Amino acid sequence: MAQAAATSPGAIGFARDIVNLGKPRVTTLVIFTTATGIWLAPPNGATWTTTLSFLFATSLLVASANTLNCWVERKSDGLMHRTMDRPLPAGRLAPGVALVWGSVLGLLALVLLQLTSNTLTAALGSIALLTYVLVYTPLKRVSPAALYVGAVPGAIPPLMGWTFATGSLDTPGWFLFALLFIWQIPHFIAISVYLEEDYRRGGLQVLPVAHGSKAAWRQMIWTSAALLVVSLAAAALGIAGPVYLVVATLAGAVFVHGAWTGSKAPTAKAGRKVFAISILHLIAVVTALILDKI
């Protein structure tokens, strides 16, 4: 009886675990970038109700991808200190519950995307969901190339925001895709550096586990430098103005400097510092894009 009580939470605990499968903080960040795509696009006459419904559908899509990711990785999550208390490895939820819930969320999200946006946007959502769950997630146990594969679905949401507003794939939308794609590379390398031993325990072939810390830091440096170059392209393309240019230059320089100095003393603490810098970089750059249009 005591064991049943420990592993069978009440209604509030069950609801909390169901929500946590979707990784609310990650979902919030994705919605922020998706909304940026809408904001940068020309006015399309969509009502607030339609726009918020689209963002809600997108949040369901992200929650579905994260939930199904937790289902696939439940065994490796149980081996890692950072993730062993998640609902599935901790035994608070049955794997079947997560599988059904994640699948229902995904189907509902795709239907709502079609109803609230357009076929192109719904198709992009389908690509993001399927790539994340069926390609990226299992590939993490096989090759560090999963990092680049996973960056594709991670970069699609802001492009979806653009296509929701315009119905077409245009240069500004592709810029947002490129910005988010490249940003994810040094961001996730930084995570893998400071959690290297945890990933090793979980059997995940992240870059420092597969090729060593030096290779990881080298890629972190050149991809953060590439991010700086790509971010400045917004000004050259006429997507953003002087406010953005100043912020992107400073934020990008701080990111590159953090990766460079961290490589000189490549510790887990240094990796965590670059991870924090990467989050601040994204918030600063995206906020500057938004403010530059006001």
Query: pLDDT digit string (tens) for 60-92?
Result: 999 999 999 999 999 999 999 999 999 999 999
Whole-number pLDDT of residue 4: 42
Name every residue whose Cβ is closer than 8 Å to that of residue 64 and which is 6 or more positions away in sequence: 22, 102, 103, 105, 106, 109, 129
Same fold, 10-143 and 170-294: no
Name the residue ranges covered by the structural domains of the chain: 10-143, 170-294
Whole-number pLDDT of residue 166: 96
Cα 43 to Cα 16, 38, 166: the distances in Å are 37, 9, 8
Please choose, from the candidates 95, 92, 70, the residue with its C-alpha nearest in 3D space to the C-alpha of residue 83. 70
Whole-number pLDDT of residue 2: 40
Compute mean pLDDT per 10 residues along the chain, 294 residues long, and list them: 48 92 96 96 89 98 98 95 95 96 98 97 98 97 96 98 96 97 98 95 94 95 98 91 94 98 92 96 95 85
User: CA geometry: angle at 65 spanning 86 and 10, to 5°?
Assistant: 40
CATH of domain 10-143: 1.10.357
Task: Give domain 170-294's CATH architecture.
Answer: Up-down Bundle (1.20)
Whole-number pLDDT of residue 1: 38
Whole-number pLDDT of residue 265: 87
Cα–Cα dist 236/232, whole Å: 7
Q: What number of residues does the chain have?
A: 294
